[in-house]
Amino acid sequence: MKTAAILSVLLAASAGPAFAQHHGMPTPAPKLAPAAKPVPRPAPRPAVKPAPAAAPALAAMVRAPDDATVVAPAMDGPTEPPMDAAPSGGMAGMEGMDHGASDDEVGDEPAPPVPTDFAADTVFDPAAMAAARAQLRMEHGGSTISKVMVNLAEVQVRDGENGYRWEGEAWIGGDLNRLVIKTEGEGGVSAGVEAAELQALYSRAVGPYFDLQAGLRQDLQSGPTHTYATVGFEGLAPYWFETSGALFLSRKGELLGRLEGAYDLRLTQRWILQPRIETNVSSQDIPELQLGSGVSNVELGLRLRYEVKREFAPYVGVSFERKVGGTADYARALDGDVEATSFVIGLRTWF
């Protein structure tokens, strides 16, 4: 009996709970896992306060958390429909909508009227403020200004007889319209003035850098002189090249032309090297002026100036002049020089 009881217990332990339950034996209680520690719950988030009544749109844009309650503020006036909401009537209602100024072209509105009331007049004397405004308008484009520019005033030292030369202009006017007086000439120390001219021109600005000019030119040298109608230009070409050109038409139908160019190469703030070129042309032979048709002469110069002040700059340099074509033939026939090289000393000034 004891042996049978022991065998029954061993079989029950090896067969598990199913065997014990089948034979009516008590089932041992299952072992339980140790209890997990409780996880602390996070503190609840504070409820979102409603937006102030002054900014209902901002309150509507704020999204509240899932566990918070948001009270939408009351709005006094009617609310606008959302942007994506279609008007009543669907597309048919949209077709009848008035798009207003969206179909107008940009810039077709009239300019606003000129203001006639000035806040400063309530504090200061209106007469004094009117004078100040007039002065301001004059200083910003309405003023009359002037300038005298002596570009060349030099002595030329060369083989044979030494000479001299001058070139300059003066003008008075505004930003657009000016009266311009130009003069230039040359001569010998003993021979006197060989060529001189004076021009009176109306100058009109046609762009930020160029002026068109028209007027009269009068020759002043001894011997035959002519009066010419003049039209030309003057301005600053790209890369800071100073350029000018003119056509001269005499009363006899003689047409002359001139083209000049110069460039200021700044070596330092005060030392400036200026290459320069000038050429003259004639449409026909003019024996009394010893000019042949075509290009009559070409002059090349190189001058180095020192600006003691911007308005006062002495210079030294070299100038080379060559007569060509029929003009050179006239010079040879009269035993004159066809070309000349000169060492120059001069002064450039303006005020």
pLDDT at 112: 87
Question: Lowest-pLDDT range, 70-79, 141-150, 165-174, 342-351?
Answer: 70-79
Residues 71, 74: Cα–Cα separation, whole Å: 9
Residue in 169, 173, 171 with CA at minimum distance from that of residue 183 = 169
pLDDT at 82 over 90: no
106 vs 100, 112, 113, 116, 224, CA distance in Å?
13, 15, 19, 27, 63
pLDDT at 19: 44
Q: Residue 320 — left, alpha, or beta (φ > 0 → left; ψ -120 to 50 → alpha)?
A: beta
Residues 194, 223: Cα–Cα separation, whole Å: 9
Question: Lowest-pLDDT range, 58-72, 223-237, 303-317?
Answer: 58-72
pTM for this entry: 0.64
**Could you tell me what percent of the chain has a pLDDT over 70?**
70
Residues 197, 256: Cα–Cα separation, whole Å: 13
DSSP 8-state code for residue 287: G
pLDDT at 119 over 60: yes
pLDDT band at 221 (very low <50, low <70, confident <90, very high): confident
- Tell me the DSSP string of 15-51: H-HHHHHHTTPPPPPPPPPPPPPPPPPPPPPPPPPPP
3-state secondary structure of 300: strand
pLDDT at 197: 96
Residues in the chain: 351
pLDDT at 344 over 80: yes
pLDDT at 55 over 60: no
Residue 238 contacts residue 208 (beta carbons within 8 Å): no
pLDDT at 164: 96
Q: What is the pLDDT of residues 131-170, one digit of tens each?
A: 999 888 877 877 889 999 999 999 999 988 899 999 999 9
pLDDT at 59: 43
* Count of Cβ atoms closer than 10 Å to residue 187 Cβ: 19
pLDDT at 88 over 90: no
Question: Lowest-pLDDT range, 106-120, 183-197, 234-248, 333-347?
Answer: 106-120
Residue in 273, 226, 233, 277 with CA at minimum distance from that of residue 251 = 226
Of the spans 73-87, 97-111, 235-249, which averages the highest pLDDT? 235-249
Of the spans 5-9, 97-101, 306-310, 337-341, which averages the highest pLDDT? 306-310
pLDDT at 339 over 60: yes
pLDDT at 68: 47
